[in-house]
Chain A
Amino acid sequence: MIRKLTCLIFPVLMLLAGCMKDDELWSFERSTHAFPFAGLFVCNQGNFMYGNASLSYYDPETREVLNEVFFSTNALPLGDVAHSMVIRDSLGYVVINNSGRIYIFHTHTFEVVGKITGLTSPRYMHFINDSKAYVTDLYARSIAIVNPLSMEVTGTIPVNNHESGFSQHATEQMVQLDKYVYTNCWSFDNQILVIDSQTDQVVDSIEVLKQPNSMVLDRYQTLWVLSDGGFPESPYGYDLPGLMKIEAGSRKAEIVHRFSQGALPRGLAINGSGDTLYFLNKGVYRHAVVSTREPDLLIDSPYPAGHQGGFYALEVDPVSSELYVADAIDFVQRGTVYRFTPHGEAVDTFQVGIGPGGFCFKP
């Protein structure tokens, strides 16, 4: 009887034991690529804490889309929340927010070259010169100075605001005019900090409407700032969202347009010739920098009224001025990118990774 029982147990044991796949899963043939042409990278943020950020590559010429290019080339996951990307020469720098690092890779082959680590909660990277770049940060209350050649953090620019009861300053995007780098402080903040890139010091600040989320520089060297105003119940308070401009050399913001309460403008971008602004407010809006009229709706949101969805990210091709608009859908599936002509006519649609939130054009 006992023998019978063991006879029964063992086959079951064999059947059930050992079908794990971790090593198998990770030993796959890496893909090789060569794209020495102009193209578009899409940073797919992924889900916070899930480590499922990814990088997509789109060839506007052939309309070919390659998803997960970093992972498939390097057998290395990008990390947790890929926030933004910049290109310097032929190298791409992807800022991975919740992994505290920047991956550096070759933009033609997607092969990883190295990494810059030791960053607290990095958001954007901006090159001052070949051996110096700034990295803004959500929590560090300082901007990191990094040397992209040695891939090291070489210093910090403190931006702590002792006077505020809120966690300030959290720095975001960067725009450079002459030697001055402007950075917007979005989270519970209303400042644009001005940094002297020669002395690495904050030299001035410009008050804007609450929660400036994006900035661009136009052809007249006017700085345009878009603020979402926070949200009505915020303990920090709420401003009606607005579009502002700061004339070259001026340190004062002038309100160009105010939105209605509940509007959620974001993703300010500018075309290649620096004369037309685009931004998202559920749909895509357009505004000529010299215009005195209200921004006009160029592309309507595919979501019905009352739905909280909308386009999530926007970028303009600096050469063709074509628009690329990302829709993250529910943020837990692959997002979609729509390509439009500068006049809003549909050109192409393609699927990318989870939470497409940033674009980077490869010249």
Chain B
Amino acid sequence: MEKKLLILLFAISMVFPLFSQGIRDSVFRIEGVSVAAERIFVKEQAGMKQTQVDTTVLQNKAVLSLSDLLSENTSVFIKNHGRGALATASFRGTAASHTQVNWNGISINSPMAGMVDFSLIPVYLIDELNLKHGPASLADGVGGIGGSINLYNRAGWNDKRTLSYMQGIGSYHTFDEFLQLGLGNKKIRSKTRLYHNQSKNDYTFVNRGIGNFDPQTGALSHPIDTNDHASYARYGLLQELYYRPRQEHVISIKYWGQYADRTIPRPTSYEGPDNSNLNNQQDTDHRVVADWKYYSPIGKWMIRSGYSGKQLDYNQMNRVPGLGLVPAIYSESRQNSLFSTLSYSGNRGEDLSYEGSLDMNKHKVGSVDSVSNMAYEGRRNELSLFFAIRKSFADRLNLNLMLRQEWVDGKRAPFIPFLGMEIRLLEGVDLLWKGNVARNYHQPSLNDLYWQPGGNPDLRPEKGFTVETGLEYQQNYGGHQIKTELTLYRTDIEDWILWIPSYRGFWEPRNISRVLSKGVEYMLQIQGKLSDFGYKVAATYGYTSSINYGDPAKWGDNSYGKQLVYIPLHSGNVLMHLHWRNLFLTYQYNAYSERFTTSSNDVTRRDWLYPYIMNDVSAGGSFQTKQANFTVELKVFNLFNEAYHSVLYRPMPGRNYQLVIMIQI
């Protein structure tokens, strides 16, 4: 009876996303869909909600930015200021700085702003992409109240010498070039990736922000404008070196350098002089990470050191008669971070494992605006101790206790415990009941503390408390596999930091409010073979209620009890991938419900970000010659040429195309 009920429950939950307008998840490609079930009952991951992004998705989106992948294939909401422009994440209804992003184990969140611009990360660089939802991120570090996004590069010891070149040619004068070279043997390997992306990004749109009046009739019309001043160019190099002198030792060093130059569009309603209000931003990043892993018979040691440096220059120029172009803003900032980690993980028999690590990080930032002469410098030292113990009981119950203690500039931060569990409900069946309860906290960013003007050195860290529960199920039926997971979470965040304009004329951050984020995450994947066809369907749906319960300072503040701005209540995506011999077809939906732009959730015709659904389709094929393997793919984005917005009055492109050609030797 119990079993029947559970099966019924799952049958219902699997049909559910087909009827809801929200959905999400993955893309896939050619090589038959392998139907090998992963182990899902792992004590080291007990109670943790994770998403492992399919490698076929990574391949399919290789020419795009991580922001595109996250919004189309995961439950992370991306606030996108336009194609190629700033894209920030909201994970489980939290702020952009509540998503921790790690590259090969080192944080790449800006120590100044606390967040990451996902438009600057090419998917091409990622070999493995892992998302840890909510408190699961404590396995990687503190601060990920929403979760963490982990990008990894892998040695690929079994690869032979590889050389591949990928060329993307797309609408709006978009060109993407990627070159990859892999060399080495079973002892030493080198992987080099070079890339260049550029776009004029000159799509046209109906500009509702400007009205033209017919001189005779006075009739109003909106011009068809070009998305001017929105071009971008990126140049980058990723170099990896791996050395495995003996089977139990692996040493690696990785370098990722990137230069990005973007012009930032003016407001669409701008009707000032052509040569004024010109905005430009350059991001130069250098990141290095080196690690040594030693696998002893009873445990694993790891030492890692890393560096992350960023230079961000932003300027706004205006024409001044007689002087030419004069900056109104000329801001230059430098951010330098050093990371070091020592960790050990070991086992006591099959059923007990433990892990300990020590992290020491140093951040130093400086920013100066040479127009206002406003400047600040900030530093931070972090010391973090981590201990975890995991126990398995008779293959029916796993427990996972993780403890973290940080000291920030010598001051003890809140103690962070995580207790996760999972229970195998039916013997021998991959049907798990999972859950966790955890605390988390997020330090104010250095801008929050020291920015001139406005920085507030008295800010307290943001503190979160999460309770989470869910069911996970996985089963193979002949040549078909089904995988599904349903999660419910509730995160209570105190001392949420908000930048609020003070009437001094600038913004100031305050520990203003309490935010209660509650939600449902649902994921479904079905894949398999039907005679000659291989198929994969992946969907996610998210219900995200992120409500402000800040102290209603006084009468008139209607933001109390309202959804945070720019966070959709419903979001989701579906991906369908079919392949037949060497041909493949991928269809992608991605939907968001309405988003509010006012803290009081007023819906006005002018300020409303209405729901949207994006449809993308791509098709291609590959063929092999003696010398090389060729793949050709045509992608169509925004298939139905819909007008939609991610940010108020920032135009998004209509239907557009991309041709991708890949040659592998």
Contact = CB atoms under 8 A, between A and B. Distances in A.
Interface in A34-80: 47, 49-52, 54, 68, 71, 74-77, 79-80
Range for the number of chain A residues in contact with chain B: 35 or more
B613 A51 contact: no
B16 interface: no
A16 B320 contact: no
Contact of A20 (B21, B533, B643): B643
B18 A12 contact: yes
Interface in B622-655: 640, 642-644, 647-649
B452 A233 contact: yes
Contacts of B273: 100, 118-120
B599 A156 contact: no
Contact of A308 (B328, B510, B610): B510
B414 interface: no
Interface in A10-45: 12, 15-23, 25-26, 28
Interface stretch (B152-160, B302-310, B549-557): B549-557
A138 B557 CA distance: 31
Contacts of A231: 453, 504
B622 to A, nearest CB: 22
A114 B219 CA distance: 11
Contacts of A233: 452-453
Interface in A347-363: 349, 354
A233 B591 CA distance: 46
Contacts of A117: 271-272
Interface string A152-186: 00001010100001110000000000000000000
Contacts of A307: 553
B364 to A, nearest CB: 20
A349 B502 CA distance: 22
A188 B501 CA distance: 19
Nearest to A335: B556
A264 B501 CA distance: 13
B4 interface: no
A315 B559 CA distance: 26
Contact of A334 (B268, B374, B531, B598): B598
Contacts of B375: 235
Interface in B310-350: 318-323, 326, 328
Given A28-B605, A98-B270, A167-B372, A158 B322 contact: yes
B184 to A, nearest CB: 43
A43 B458 CA distance: 34
A272 interface: no
A160 B501 contact: no
A7 interface: no
B267 A167 contact: no
Interface stretch (A139-147, A194-202, A290-298, A316-324): A139-147
A310 interface: yes
Contact of A100 (B272, B553, B605, B608): B272
A126 interface: no
Contacts of B558: 333-334
Contacts, number: 232
Given A141-B320, A309-B553, A332 B640 contact: no
Given A52-B597, A231-B504, A308-B500, A68 B272 contact: no
A20 B610 contact: yes
B613 A16 contact: yes
B477 interface: no
A68 B605 CA distance: 10
Contact of B270 (A52, A80, A310): A80
Contacts of A259: none
Interface residues of B, number: 81
A123 interface: no
Contacts of B565: 332
A307 B502 CA distance: 9
B220 A100 contact: no
Contacts of B615: 16-17
B610 A21 contact: yes
B447 interface: no
A115 B600 CA distance: 32
B561 interface: no
B185 interface: no
B533 A76 contact: no
A206 to B, nearest CB: 22
A330 B559 CA distance: 9
B508 A121 contact: no
A68 B604 contact: yes
A62 to B, nearest CB: 22
Among A16, A138, A329, the most chain B Cβ lie within 10 Å of the Cβ of A16
Given A234-B453, A235-B375, A330 B599 contact: yes
Nearest to B18: A12
Contacts of A141: 320, 323, 326
Interface stretch (B205-213, B352-360, B517-525): B205-213
Contact of B503 (A1, A15, A310): A310
B22 to A, nearest CB: 10
A16 B572 CA distance: 11
A336 B530 CA distance: 63
A101 B267 CA distance: 12
Interface in B187-218: 206, 208-209, 211, 213
B605 A120 contact: no
B209 A51 contact: yes
B530 A1 contact: yes
B246 interface: no
B574 interface: yes
B322 A79 contact: no
A2 interface: yes
B642 A99 contact: no
B433 interface: no
A63 B406 CA distance: 57
A125 interface: no
B607 interface: yes
B269 interface: yes
Contacts of B574: 12, 16
A2 B533 contact: yes
Contacts of B508: 308
B611 interface: yes
B576 interface: yes
Contacts of B554: 302-303
B395 interface: no
A51 B267 contact: yes
A15 B574 CA distance: 12
B220 A75 contact: yes
A280 B505 CA distance: 14
A210 interface: no
A327 B208 CA distance: 29
A9 interface: yes
A16 B276 contact: no
Contact of B504 (A100, A228, A349): A228
Contacts of B602: 333-334
A302 B557 CA distance: 11
A146 to B, nearest CB: 13
A99 B644 contact: no
Interface of B: 18-19, 21, 23, 206, 208-209, 211, 213, 220, 267-273, 276-277, 318-323, 326, 328, 371-375, 452-453, 498, 500-504, 508, 510, 530-531, 533, 535, 553-559, 565, 574, 576, 587, 589, 591, 597-600, 602, 604-608, 610-613, 615, 640, 642-644, 647-649
11 contacts: A16-B574, A18-B640, A18-B642, A99-B267, A118-B273, A121-B328, A160-B323, A231-B504, A308-B502, A312-B503, A333-B600
Given A17-B640, A79-B269, 5 more contacts: A25-B605, A50-B647, A98-B270, A280-B503, A330-B498
Interface of A: 1-2, 5, 9, 12, 15-23, 25-26, 28, 47, 49-52, 54, 68, 71, 74-77, 79-80, 96, 98-101, 112, 114-115, 117-121, 138-142, 156, 158, 160, 165-167, 188, 228, 231, 233-236, 264, 266, 280, 302-304, 307-312, 327-334, 336, 349, 354
